[in-house]
Amino acid sequence: MAEKTYGRTASGAPITDDLVDKLAAEAEAGYDVQQTLRRRGGRPPIGSAAASVESVRLDPELRDALARRAESDHETASSVIRKALREYLKAA
C-alpha cells in the first residue's frame, strides 16, 4: 500500500508521516537561533563589485524586440541588455 502524503514541500518532496515526525522531533529538540538568523547574503555579484541600477527608456518596438530576444535566448531582459552593452562598448 502506498504511503499517505499530505502535499509537497517547496522543493517538491512529498510530505509524509515520516517527514512530519522528523520535522517535529527537530523542532522539539530546538533550533540554533544564531544559525537560523544568520544573514544568507543577497544576489550573487555579476561583476567585480556591487552592481548599480541604471534606468533606460525604451520605445515599445525596442521593448518588444528585447522581450522576444530574451525569450528566444532563455535569458532575462537585463542579461540581454548587459551583453549588448558590453559588445557595443568593446567595439566603440
pLDDT tens, residue by residue, 13-44 = 899 999 999 999 988 988 888 777 776 667 77
Same-domain check for residues 4 and 33: yes
22 close to 9: Cβ distance less than 8 angstroms: no
pLDDT value at residue 33:
80
Same-domain check for residues 60 and 31: no
Find all residues with CB under 8 Å of 81, minimum gap 6, and list them: 56, 66
> Would 46 be classed as within a structural domain?
no
| H or E segment and range at residue 40 | none
The count of domains in the chain is 2
> Would 43 be classed as within a structural domain?
no
> Would 3 be classed as within a structural domain?
yes
% of the chain exceeding 90 in pLDDT: 52
Domain that holds residue 69: 56-92
Q: In Å, how far are 2, 22, 56 from 29, measured between CA atoms?
A: 30, 11, 52
Please provide the average confidence, as pLDDT, over all residues in the chain: 87
| CA 25 – CA 88 distance, rounded (Å) | 58
